[in-house]
Amino acid sequence: MRGLAAQPVGIVAHTVRPASPVDASGLAAIDTRVNISPWTETQFAAACAGGEGNHAWALVVEEDGRLEGFVVVSQVLDEATLLSIAIAPPQQRRGLGRLLLSAALARAQRDGAQRCLLEVRETNVAARRLYTENGFALDGVRKNYYPCEGGREDAVLMSKELKGTANECA
């Protein structure tokens, strides 16, 4: 894939690597378990395809060859947007989300991004804390953006500047 170092980033038995289209079913299976509105396998396959003209790319984290999580980013010139990040429920709260986020920001920066944007459900305490701890700041709120049980909830808009060296953002 474009721009990502070939060597995996490893922590203990975990490996972060670029996703490929064959990972799409595994990513969809994880997403179905954790998201109210999961992506389809076709959507993941497109995000994992890479290549010229495809703005999206994805990284996966594995433990002993098992897919445990993913992050999907869309990148246009100097702006990256974090589209999705998820860790399989039994593996949550073990540092894998932080690991994937750092790897994604490092790759985005290496590929020329100066800013990373995202939006997150207001009630998603885990994700909001992950982003805040990793330097994302509040940009605003989109009222009643997401459907949720019993109505709608706000989207919280956040961003992080990615200036400086790759090491600073990883």
Residue ranges binding ligand COA (CB under 6 A): 34-35, 85-87, 92-98, 120, 124-127, 129-130, 133
Task: Work out how close the CB of 158 gets to ligand COA at its nearest, in angstroms, rounded to a whole number.
Answer: 9
Q: Which is nearer to ligand COA, 66 or 129 (CB)?
A: 129
Nearer to ligand COA, 45 or 85 (CB): 85
Q: Give yes or no for a contact between 71 and 84, defined as CB atoms under 8 angstroms apart.
A: yes
Q: Which residue is nearest to ligand COA (CB)?
A: 97
Quote the least distance from Cβ 116 to ligand COA, whole Å.
13
Beta carbons of 71 and 57 less than 8 angstroms apart:
no
Beta strands at 137-148 and 151-161: parallel, antiparallel or unpaired: antiparallel
The two structure tokens encoding residue 119: 């939006």
22-47 burial, b at 16+ Cβ within 10 Å, e below that, comes to: ebbebbbebbeeeeeebbebebbbbb
Catalytic residue among 62, 68, 131, 146: 131
Catalytic one among 52, 62, 79, 119? Answer: 119
131 is catalytic: yes
Report, in Å, the least distance between residue 169 CB and ligand COA: 16
Question: Closer to ligand COA at the Cβ: 94 or 110?
Answer: 94
* 79 given a catalytic annotation: no
Determine which helix (DSSP H) or strand (DSSP E) holds 105, and give its type and residue range: helix 96-110
- Minimum CB separation of residue 51 from ligand COA in Å reads 26
- HEC string of 31-98? HHHHCCCCCCHHHHHHHHCCCCCCCEEEEEEEECCEEEEEEEEEEECCEEEEEEEEECHHHCCCCHHH
Smaller CB separation from ligand COA, 52 or 149: 149
Q: Are 71 and 58 in contact (CB under 8 A)?
A: yes
Which sequence positions are flagged as catalytic? 119, 131
